């Protein structure tokens, strides 16, 4: 009987924020003794759902049943008292306290207000023993590795009588061996009858431990599946909202493949420990190379290395046949690289400065502080790009923060175009902008490559990737899995490549 084993049930959950419907009619059922993966692309509503469940947000509608009784947690503390514990991606322990103190913090046993240290230590040791770990609990937490800290956080979460354990991206900063150790612990807890919710982007890990999978997309419930009965390809197609049958690509929709141009930038086995496994990548003038893969697959990580934001710790970068090392965005910009980052608000716009100043910034930074771009030239540049990119702003002196997302994105594009780059890296350039602006940006990409610019194009939108790329490099789990060219480029092939498990390789 399904209901007898249902430990936690979320029914018809909806949650809105001003201007956005984050969740509508979402459900999730966790049974005793199961590991349940919650899957979805960026913006699918996973973290909102978890925040609703743990009392960080108040839900607008729906019902949460724990052991058949309706609950309504108003804070994470209350949720924890009810038996729902959460461990976040960023370990939130207090680094300078001991392991024992961290585990027992806020629920110490006292006599007349005095701490009973011996009991606290024993309790911590017992909590860790449950996970099969033996460490010195009097040692300061920050002296242990991230993996151990993660386990301590889990021990802390389990110290009270947890019934449901939620793990939000627990493996992002762990290496393979540490992940395996974590999974051993999870299987042990599962055997004890705990319900475990597991959120991750790594497909291999989902299939390694999950019993069931719930998929969300755009804030709606797609379905619940038995992990063993859901092929990877099906899972990806459900996450991305594409039926496999839809995916036969019409050749006419796609740009023609470039041939016979020598690449000017080559990455040879370039990698970085913890973020990207060594990969090869080449790009030639006039070429759009698409980087495809799920979030966290290494797309942005590749871009960051090329633009000098992170340093590669192995392999070689070659520019025009010469080995180079790029150590800062300033240097990359000097090599005529440009980068429109993914997080527009944090990484791109200078909110209170004008459209004109935002456009001029990269060019000016390139010329240095003595190479002042005169005011008339600045105004000319701003006017030119406002017209060319159809940026909607009352005047060039408008602070950029007052523009819409799409227009902000165009200003950031203009910033790099003004510095006339030979390689432009676009990380999700069309996210969160309206359809009109999207089409304009795609048109612009074609025009720029026609003039000889090379574009490294990162997008979660498969259709967009297929439509615009001359070549597509597919990444999975921080690793390049294949490169598609010409007729091979299709949504179906990309999905197959993303879905293939390591053993298929």
Q: Which residues bind another protein (CB under 8 A)?
A: 309, 328-330, 332-334, 339, 341, 346-353, 357, 360-362, 364-373, 415
Tokens read off for 74: 């108003």
Using the minimum distance from each CB to another protein, give the nearer residue, 68 or 372: 372
Structure tokens belonging to residue 505: 């390789």
Residue 124: what are its φ and ψ, rounded to 5°?
A: -65, -45
* DSSP state for residue 422 in the 8-state scheme: S
Residue 363 CB, shortest distance to another protein, in Å, is: 9
> Closest approach of Cβ 495 to another protein, in Å?
31
Q: Measured from the CB of residue 141, what is the shortest distance to another protein in angstroms?
A: 22
Write down the least CB distance from residue 271 to another protein, Å: 22
- CB of 360: closest distance to another protein in angstroms? 7
Residue with smaller CB distance to another protein, 219 or 341: 341
CB closer to another protein, 153 vs 425: 425
As given in the structure block, the two tokens for residue 337 are 């690289």
Judged by beta carbon, residue 61 or residue 371, the one nearer another protein is 371
State the minimum distance, in angstroms, from the CB of residue 422 to another protein.
15
Q: Give 81 or 345: the residue with its C-beta nearer to another protein.
A: 345
Return the H-helix or E-strand segment holding 363: helix 355-367
Half-sphere exposure of 321 (CA within 13 A, CB side): 1
Q: How far is the CB of 430 from another protein (least distance, A)?
A: 19
**Torsion sign (Cα): 90, 94, 98, 100:** negative
d(CA 267, CA 450): 23
With respect to another protein, which residue has the nearer C-beta, 64 or 362?
362
Nearest by Cα to 7 from 192, 226, 205: 192
Least separation in angstroms between CB 358 and another protein: 9
Residue closer to another protein, measured from CB, 65 or 350 = 350
- Asked whether 362 and 419 are in contact (CB, 8 A), the reply is yes
Handedness of CA 387, 393, 398, 404 (dihedral sign): negative
Please name the helix (run of DSSP H) or strand (run of DSSP E) that holds residue 21, with its range, or none. Answer: strand 20-31
3-state secondary structure of 228: helix
> Which lies closer to another protein via its Cβ, residue 257 or residue 275?
275
Give the 3-state DSSP-derived string for 332-358, with helices as H, strands as E and coil as C. Answer: HHHCCEEEECCCHHHHHCCCCCEHHHH
Report the alpha-carbon angle 500-306-378, nearest 5.
130
Phi then psi for residue 474, to 5 deg, are -100, 135
Residues shown for the chain: 505
């Amino acid at each position: 009987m399904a209901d007898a084993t249902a430990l936690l049930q979320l029914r018809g959950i909806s949650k809105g924020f001003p201007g956005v419907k984050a969740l509508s009619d979402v459900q999730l059922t966790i049974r005793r003794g199961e590991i349940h993966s919650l899957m979805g692309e960026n913006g699918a509503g996973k973290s909102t759902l978890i925040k609703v469940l743990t009392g960080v947000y108040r839900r607008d509608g729906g019902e949460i049943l724990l052991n058949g009784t309706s609950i309504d947690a108003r804070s994470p503390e209350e949720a924890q008292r009810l038996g729902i514990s959460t461990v976040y991606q960023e370990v939130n322990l207090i680094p300078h306290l001991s392991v024992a103190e961290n585990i027992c913090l806020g629920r110490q046993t006292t006599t007349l207000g005095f701490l009973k240290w011996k009991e606290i230590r024993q309790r911590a040791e017992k909590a860790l023993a449950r996970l099969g770990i033996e460490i010195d609990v009097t040692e300061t937490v920050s002296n242990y590795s991230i993996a151990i800290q993660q386990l301590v956080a889990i021990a802390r979460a389990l110290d009270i009588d947890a019934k449901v354990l939620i793990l939000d991206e627990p493996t992002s900063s762990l290496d393979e061996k540490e992940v395996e150790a974590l999974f051993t612990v999870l299987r042990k807890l599962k055997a004890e009858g705990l319900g475990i919710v597991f959120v991750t982007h790594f497909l291999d890990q989902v299939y390694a431990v999950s019993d069931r999978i719930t998929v969300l997309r755009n804030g709606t419930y797609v379905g619940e599946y038995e992990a063993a009965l859901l092929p990877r390809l099906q899972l990806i197609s459900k996450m991305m909202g594409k039926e496999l049958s839809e995916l036969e690509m019409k050749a006419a929709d796609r740009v023609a493949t470039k041939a016979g141009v020598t690449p000017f930038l080559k990455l040879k086995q370039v990698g970085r420990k913890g973020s990207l496994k060594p990969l090869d990548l080449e790009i030639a003038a006039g070429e759009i190379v698409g980087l495809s893969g799920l979030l966290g697959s290494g797309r942005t990580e590749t871009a960051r290395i090329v633009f000098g934001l992170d340093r590669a710790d192995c392999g070689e970068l070659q520019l025009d046949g010469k080995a180079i090392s790029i150590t800062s965005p300033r240097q990359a910009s000097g090599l005529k690289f440009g980068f429109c980052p993914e997080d527009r608000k944090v990484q791109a716009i200078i909110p209170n400065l004008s459209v004109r100043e935002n456009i001029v910034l990269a060019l000016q930074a390139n010329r240095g502080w003595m190479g002042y771009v005169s005011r008339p030239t600045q105004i000319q540049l701003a006017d030119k790009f406002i017209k060319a990119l159809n940026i909607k702003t009352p005047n060039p002196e408008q602070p950029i923060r007052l523009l819409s997302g799409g227009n902000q994105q165009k200003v950031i594009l203009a910033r790099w175009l003004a510095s006339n780059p030979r390689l432009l890296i676009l990380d999700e350039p069309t996210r969160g902008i309206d359809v009109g602006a999207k089409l304009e940006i795609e048109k612009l990409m074609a025009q720029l490559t026609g003039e000889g610019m090379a574009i490294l194009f990162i997008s979660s939108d498969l259709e967009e990737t297929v439509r615009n790329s001359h070549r597509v490099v597919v990444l999975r789990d921080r690793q390049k899995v294949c490169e598609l060219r010409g007729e091979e480029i299709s949504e179906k092939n990309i999905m197959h490549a993303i879905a293939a498990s390591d053993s298929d390789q």
